[in-house]
Amino acid sequence: MILMLINILLMMIFIVQSIAFITLLERHLLGSSQNRLGPTKVSFMGLVQALLDGVKLLKKEQLTPINSSEISFLLVPGISFIVMYAEWFTIPYFFDFLSFEFAILFFLCLIGFAVYATLISGVVSKSKFGMVGAIRASSQSISYEIAFSLYVLCIIIHNNILSFYSSFNLSLIVIYIPFLIMIIAELNRAPFDFAEGESELVSGYNVEFASVAFVLLFLSEYGALIFFSVLSSVLFFNFSILATFLIFSLLIFIRSSYPRYRYDFMMSLFWFKLLPLSLIFLFYYTILFF
């Protein structure tokens, strides 16, 4: 029992530390894609920049909006943070001490529940920008989660197991591109970052959050980014650090290269292209493996 608690504590520390340095890596990758330097002034090559940014965020004052419950206003980011951590326990490849048989079903429940944290964040912020961002997030989630669940079902049928299984199979690679698009939608990243479109929503659902609350939302977002990079590497490329790094870099370069979709184009893409395609793949894998 003590050893399990130590393992969980170490995992939590390592994930938070990885988020700190992964943000630094993202800034360098974005800088290189735009022919400029990333953070270079603080310490050696800007190595301590992410840690100092975190300290700066924690020192900021948190003002609670008028007519908003202070408890719910601070509780919602905490729920989002806990959901992000819970997702990591669905990969038995790393955490055998907490693996369980129906990890994929638990994972689908988590990503379905995660949208409520974003939705309620917009509601309790008492801001029209936050409210619009929350509504966008909920409608976007409804649009992609059906197709995403069908792609995950294809993986279940292929591996004939309800927990994540590390393998490399060319017959599974064919669904990687639509799966990657679904991951970008799940992460609310460009070109599907409608929940926090800075140009028209002034940061969207998290506009009223600062200090610890914003840090929790930030950690949740980037923790999920690392998790889905690792998950893609586990499912499609038999897990390797190189594959994880390349997938993460691809997600960053997509952000730097593609402008934001128009909202109706995104809905059309999910409902009229990726959803029928997922049904075709599901039929294909059902015939092939049953």
CA 34 → CA 109, 253, 256, distances in Å?
Answer: 38, 10, 8
Say if residues 128 and 205 touch (Cβ distance below 8 Å): no
* Blockwise average pLDDT, block size 10, the chain, 290 residues: 79 86 86 78 74 81 74 82 88 62 86 84 79 82 87 88 77 88 88 75 75 86 92 87 92 87 87 93 87
For the entire predicted model, the pTM comes to 0.89
pLDDT reported for residue 121: 80
pLDDT reported for residue 273: 92
pLDDT reported for residue 134: 83
Distance between CA 252 and CA 249 in Å, rounded? 5
- B/e letters for 72-81, b = 16+ CB within 10 Å, e = fewer, are ebbebbebbb
pLDDT reported for residue 207: 77
Taking Cα atoms as reference points, which of 186, 175, 280 lies closest to residue 235? 175
- B/e letters for 139-175, b = 16+ CB within 10 Å, e = fewer, are ebbebbbebbbbbbbbbbbbbeeebbbbeeeeebeeb
